[in-house]
Amino acid sequence: YQTLRLILGDQLNASHSWFKKKDKNCLYLIAELRQETDYVRHHVQKVAAFFQAMDNFATALQKAGHQVIHLTLDQTSDYQDLPDLLAQLCKKHKVAHFEYQLPDEYRLRKQLKALSLGKVEITAYETEHFLVPEEEISKLFPANKAIRMESFYRKMRKRFNILMEGDEPVGNRWNFDTENRKKIPASELRNIPQPLIFKNDIRPILDRIKKHKVKTIGQCSDTLLWPTTRQQSLKLLKFFCDYCLSQFGTYQDAMTANSPHSWSLYHSRLSFAMNSKMLSPGDVINKAIKAWQDNPKDISLAQIEGFVRQILGWREYMRGMYWANMPDYANKNELKASNKLPAFFWDGNTRMNCMKQAIDQSLEYAYAHHIQRLMVTGNFCLLTGIAPEQVDEWYLGIYIDAIEWVEMPNTRGMSQFADGGLIASKPYTASGNYIQKMSDYCSGCQYNVKLKTGETACPFNSLYWHFMNRHRKRLENNPRISMLFKGWDKRENAEKQGIIKHANALLKDLNSL
Ligand code: FAD
Ligand code: SF4
């Protein structure tokens, strides 16, 4: 072969210009690698989903007439790492050119940038996945600068002419958050759609994971519910447009424990399909907009805007913030958080019902929706000052969609405020009150959301005030927070001391919560 082309597990983009032409002299490589299964302890469904999707992609490429080698752990486990494997393959196939698509993750980009294969010429290509081209990232996202998602998002709406009428947003408003974000009323619970799930047989992959002693977390059956082909991804997108989009914005922040479909609600669950690049963000946005245009009676503008904002806004923005600030970002710990992640994050064994629901669900499905990640588990870690590297490790491992470029800015930045405000203008903190407002978790909890002190008091309540007081100097000048301190200062001293004392006791023994 003249050319060897590497396709990483999250580069399953069938529309890439590489595949426009068939070339007998070009060999594509798709390989399961120990360096990828081991850089963090992943959820077993996540490893299986990537391996199955890679296998399917290799088969699809072969069917389309390309030359492909698909190597499993059985064939690659003797190689030290990716460069070692590439060097051997270049030698074996007498390759003159090695080509790869730029990885989205710093770790891999660095590894491939440092690659040297003797006389073999090396070329890097764009992945052609994101809406914002690679070379524009540094212009839109200067390093170490706080950039707000909202202004980036409005720029992108104009630039790509999405939901626009001339220079104005459709409906003359950019943001419909006030209409959206409602709790699900008990009477609505039975209307939550049964999620579309797939039944991908992953037994051979599970056997390999076991045989090679790959350490994983979470549960898995013989069939995987996540999409592992482009066809399945498109089916899931259609299901979302048909059954979930009409309520997406309204209930995007809601949480419930009282439905068989509590884990999926009205969320798209497309993050794995997108992050593996089986689906492009452009396709997802266009199909959702078409569904809205075809059904304006069922799907309101607030719903489609809320959805487009997540993908055109948040997703592209997080990628920009990641690249603007790596590698320093991985060490940011502005609040000097250093506590240990409690053991119940790995088994859900806690009396806090909100935490139990979010963690159990994550272990069962490798999935939790945004507000569970941000305002339940993330909020808990923020309030209790868990070391950001431990928080990152948990999020990067457990979720089906967790790849560092999107996991880290969400976790370290948005959720833990470890970047000192590059992403969030203030820490996303909340007491039990918020969780009660957005969910029905509290009614099934051993703790009492109304109490701040005492054995049965909701831990979030005192921990919230402990956090606010420990970081008072930094926070009280923020106009969005100073009001809260005014309220706190008006309380009786004995009450304030009682709350802080209670929180101190909790912080000493987080494992027992
Ligand atoms: P939906 O609710 O249906 O949203 C649609 C799509 O919007 C998602 O598929 C996703 O592509 C995009 N999106 C929404 N919010 C965000 C966001 N904040 N950042 C980037 N894209 C967004 N998302 C990941 O893809 N990988 C991660 O590792 C990840 N880690 C997170 C960690 C924390 C602490 C938090 C708070 C959020 C994290 N997110 C992550 C963002 C978000 O929670 C998930 O994208 C979303 O829950 C995926 O489920 P869904 O596909 O059903 O999303
Ligand atoms: Fe969570 Fe507190 Fe509500 Fe229990 S009472 S579910 S700990 S917010």
CATH number assigned to the domain comprising residue 429 = 1.10.579.10
Read off the pLDDT band of 501 (50, 70, 90): very high
pLDDT tens profile 309-346: 999 999 999 999 999 999 999 999 999 999 999 999 99
Domain identity same for 33 and 154: no
25 and 168 co-located in one domain: no
Note whether 15 and 33 are same-domain residues.
Answer: yes
Q: Is residue 209 part of a domain?
A: no
pLDDT at 180: 86
Among 29, 37, 32, smallest CA distance to 7 is for: 29
In a domain, 332, yes or no: no
Res. 396: pLDDT tops 90 = yes
- Residue numbers of the domain that contains 296: 134-201+231-325
- In this prediction, residues 368-397 reach a mean pLDDT of 98
Q: Give the model's confidence band at 355: pLDDT under 50 very low, under 70 low, under 90 confident, else very high.
A: very high
Q: Which of 70, 93, 125 is the last residue of a domain?
A: 125
Residue 41 domain flag: yes
Residues 354 and 499 in one domain: yes
pLDDT tens for 450-497 read 999 999 999 999 999 999 999 999 999 988 899 999 999 999 999 999
Structure tokens of 422? Answer: 């590059």
Same structural domain, 71 and 159: no
Cβ proximity of 326 and 106 under 8 Å = yes
- For ligand 1, say whether the CB of 374 is within 6 Å of any of its atoms: yes
- CA 354 – ligand 2 centroid, Å: 6
Query: Which amino acid residue places its CA nearest to atom 2 of ligand 2?
Result: 458
Cα distance between residue 230 and residue 14, in whole Å: 8
Q: Can you read off the two tokens belonging to residue 47?
A: 């490893």
| Residues 50 and 104 both lie in one domain | yes
Residue bearing tokens 């009614």? 443
Which of 82, 106, 125 terminates a domain? The answer is 125
Q: Are residues 263 and 241 in the same domain?
A: yes
Residue 331 placed within a domain: no
Residue 247 has pLDDT above 90, yes or no: yes
> Does some domain include residue 225?
no
The two structure tokens encoding residue 425: 């203008």
pLDDT at 480: 81
> For 33-86, what is each residue's pLDDT tens digit?
999 999 999 999 999 999 999 999 999 999 999 999 999 999 999 999 999 999
Q: Are residues 120 and 182 in the same domain?
A: no
Residue 101 resides in a domain: yes
Q: Are 100 and 165 in a shared domain?
A: no
- Pairing verdict, β 223-224 and 200-201: antiparallel
| H or E element at residue 158 | helix 149-159
Instruction: Among 74, 105, 125, identify where a domain stops.
Output: 125
42 C-alpha to center of ligand 2: Å? Answer: 28
CATH of the domain at 271: 1.25.40.80
Average pLDDT over the chain, rounded to an integer: 97
Q: What is the CATH number of the domain that holds 21?
A: 3.40.50.620
Closest CA to 150 of 133, 130, 173: 173
**Domain annotation covers residue 490:** yes
Give the Cα separation of 276 and 50 in Å (integer).
8
Same domain, 114 and 143: no
| Same-domain check for residues 178 and 279 | yes
Pair 274, 239 in one domain: yes
Nearest ligand, measured from the Cα of 376:
2
- Please give the distance, rounded to the nearest whole angstrom, from the Cα atom of residue 353 to the centre of ligand 2: 6
* 240 CA: nearest ligand 1 atom: 3
Query: Residue 311 has what DSSP assignment?
Result: I
The yes-or-no verdict on residue 503 having pLDDT over 90 is yes
- Helices 230-239, 281-294: axis angle to 10 degrees equals 30
Classify residue 333: in a domain, yes or no.
no
Each residue's pLDDT tens digit, 252-307: 999 999 999 999 999 999 999 999 999 999 999 999 999 999 999 999 999 999 99
Ligand 2 interacting residues, C-beta cut-off 6 A: 352-354, 432, 435-436, 441-442, 445, 447, 449, 458-460
Q: In whole angstroms, what is the distance from residue 67 CA to residue 94 CA?
A: 15
For residue 377, the ligand 1 atom closest to its alpha carbon is 34
Domains held by the chain: number: 3
Strand, coil or helix: 267: coil
Please, what's the largest Cα pairwise distance for the chain? 79
Residue 353 pLDDT grade (very low, low, confident, very high; cuts 50, 70, 90): very high
